[in-house]
Amino acid sequence: MPDVQIQYSKSASMYQLFFRKENDQKTTHYCPGCGHGTAQKLIASVIDELAIQDRTVFLSPVGCSVFSYYYFDTGNIQCSHGRAPAVATGIRRTLSDAIIIAYQGDGDLAGIGMTEIVHAANRGENITVFFINNAIYGMTGGQMAPTTPIGVKTLTTPEGRSKSRDGNPIGMCELLASLQAPAYIERCSLSTPKQVLRTRLAIKKALDYQVRKKGFSFVEILSPCPTNWRMSPLDARAWIAGELEGDIFPLKCFRDVPQEIQPDSLSVIRPDIVTLLTKDSILKTSYDGPPRAPKYIKIAGFGGQGVLSAGELVAFSALEEGFNVSWLPSYGPEMRGGSANASVICSDEPIGSPVVDCPNVLIAMNNPSLELFENSVTNNGIIVLNSSLVERKPRRTDVKTYAIPATDIAKKAGLVSAANVVMITALAAITGFLHVSTVKHSIGNVLRKKLYTDKNLEIVENTLSYLREKEMM
């Protein structure tokens, strides 16, 4: 018949032969009269029309449509139950021009996957979700779905869904429409040819929005499940029109506000990674002097006294002087209410345990610290205490004690929080295990508030004056 040509036939974006399928590679695995086939044909015809077949990634859910990849000649990813919107988010962040279709059933989307759909919608992901609502769990044989109407009998509601026991059916469009980000939300139906055509328009609009990067689009499709509804295909369609489309799931457009999606500029700027990561780093230091005794240092005080950064200052300075170092914040059973402590080890040899159980240097910033750690200090160890706050002298007589009014020195210079700098300066100057010049140099690298670098350096000098005055160095 030379005067006629094909007007309607299988879409190019569906495989001509369903080669991934075991048997009957020309037909779907869906039951006679199932809405999935119709919905998927509509989607395929729109993919053809928008010429997006190569760019499309189709996400198959768990449910009857788990095998959607049998049919769509597009990129295909099968997802775990309910998680397609999260999977889509991962793809969206990776492929900026992909057309991502999440195709989900009611159990998948409105039951187990409620979190994922709500948050993807709330982020306004530029993806399209087709929500096939047939008010039942199909693949598992006909159990109650989140969208099953009150009174409807299913395998798990043999007396009908009860409002008091099972709650009301969930309207996903209504729920998502409470969010600001979605661009397009519409509920359609496959009940009649007219509604099927309307559904195709909605599918087209949703995908067109995604193509034009207009944001999150969501089309709910009321779809017949003749098998599990125990109805003929035609009765099933009539039941949608009569029972579902009314008050429970009204057909309408809930949102049509195209959004301006900011193009993802991140992937454009790719600085040299080594340059980025080694900025402000130091060069490898080496030490070839005589062996140095390892220092096991415990620095303890109130939270807020800069205990942890004092430790960092020691560790950084020691690193600059070619030690191996470790720094461990109070973490673990030795931590007690309100107090903080840091364990720092500086050693010529690689460090084993970073935990300092028996320090040979204790820096006690307050009374409780001295109480807690005095007894753990090794014989001939050193205790440097903040005499502005520590009221008593150490009981130990087998250790060297240095009392420094650190808080007073810091306060006098107008930066009370720098008592930690006083203590570390004193430690360096008294023991000589670090050069004071290294500590000064390290201050700028370690202390968070760069604003106070000059003030801290002044405090270092004041500390040195104090130590000279008291003949402690």
Partner 1 sequence: MNHVEIHRDECKGCAVCVAACPHGCLVIGDTLNLMGYQYVEFVGNDRCTACGLCFTVCPEPGALVVYGMKKV
Partner 2 sequence: MGIRLMKGNDAVVFGALMGGCTHFFGYPITPASEIAQQAAYWFPLAGRHFLQAESEVSVINMLYGASSAGARVMTASSGPGIALMGEGLSYMAGACLPAVVVDMQRSGPGLGNIWPEQSDYNMVVKGGGHGDYRTIVLAPYSAQEMFEMTMKSFEIADRYRMTVFILSDAYIGQMMEQVSIEGIPSESGKKDWAVYADAQSRSNLITSIYMNIEKQSEHNRKLQKTYEKASRELLEFEHVATEDAQVVFVAYGICARICLSAVRSLRRLGLKVGLFRPKTLWPLPEQEIKQFAAAKKTLVVVELSSGMLASDISLYANGATEVLHIGSFGGATPTVTSLVDRIIEHIGDRHA
**Of 351-410, which residues contact partner 2 (CB under 8 A)?**
351-355, 357-358
In the list partner 2, partner 1, none, the entry touching 182 (Cβ below 5 to 8 angstroms by class) is: none
76 CB burial (10 A radius; 0-12, 13-18, 19+): middle
* Residue closer to partner 1, measured from CB, 147 or 195: 195
Determine, following the binding rule CB under 8 A, whether residue 4 of this chain makes contact with partner 1.
Answer: yes
Residue 186: strand, helix, or coil: strand
**Site pattern 156..195 for partner 1 (x: CB under 8 A):** ----------------------------------x--x--
38 binds, among partner 2, partner 1, none (CB under 5 to 8 A by kind): partner 1
Q: What mask, x for binding partner 1 by CB under 8 A, covers residues 67 to 106?
A: ----x-----------------------------------
4 versus 266: smaller Cβ distance to partner 1 = 4
Cβ nearer to partner 1, comparing 35 with 311: 35
**Residue bearing tokens 């006083």:** 422
Q: Can you give the C-alpha Rg of the chain in angstroms?
A: 35
Residues 89-108 that bind partner 2 (CB under 8 A): 89-95, 97-99
CB of 87 or CB of 364, closer to partner 2: 87
Is residue 42 close enough to count as binding partner 1 by CB under 8 A? yes
Please report, for residues 208, 319, 462, the alpha-carbon distance to residue 84 in angstroms, rounded to integers and kept in the order given. Answer: 20, 49, 63
Q: 289: helix, coil or strand? A: coil
Query: Distance (Å, rounded) from C-alpha 407 to C-alpha 433?
Result: 23
Which of partner 2, partner 1, none does residue 331 bind (CB under 5 to 8 Å by kind)? partner 2
Binds partner 2 by CB under 8 A, chosen from 43, 63, 73, 182: 73
Q: Name beta bridge partners: 217.
A: 128, 184
Tokens of 58: 């189709």
Measured over the CA atoms of residue 43, residue 49, residue 50 and residue 56, the dihedral's sign is: positive
315 by DSSP, 3-state: which?
A: helix
237 binds, among partner 2, partner 1, none (CB under 5 to 8 A by kind): partner 1
How many degrees, rounded to 5, is the angle at CA 253 between CA 247 and CA 257?
A: 145
Binds partner 2 (CB under 8 A): choice among 1, 4, 17, 268: 268
User: Which 3 state secondary structure label does DSSP give 68?
Assistant: helix
Q: Which of partner 1, partner 2, none has residue 327 at its interface (CB below 5 to 8 Å by kind)?
A: partner 2
Q: What six digits make up the tokens of 221?
A: 């499709």
Contact between 27 and partner 1 by CB under 8 A: the answer reads: yes
The one among 2, 193, 271, 289 contacting partner 2 by CB under 8 A: 271
Strands 382-386 and 361-364, bridge-based pairing: parallel
16 in contact with partner 2 (CB under 8 A): no
Distance from C-alpha of 71 to C-alpha of 67, rounded to nearest angstrom: 8
> How open is the CA angle 25-27-31, to the nearest 5 degrees?
130
**Is there binding between residue 30 and partner 1 (CB under 8 A)?**
yes
Please report how the helices 453-469 and 436-446 are oriented relative to each other, as an axis angle in degrees rounded to 10: 150
Which option in partner 2, partner 1, none does residue 326 bind, with CB closer than 5 to 8 A by kind?
partner 2
Q: Is 324 among the residues that bind partner 2 (CB under 8 A)?
A: yes
Give the nearer residue to partner 2 in terms of CB position, either 155 or 282: 282
Check residue 109 and report its DSSP letter.
Answer: I
**Residues in touch with partner 1 (CB under 8 A):** 1, 3-11, 14, 16, 24, 26-28, 30-38, 40-42, 44, 71, 190, 193, 196-197, 200, 226, 232-234, 237
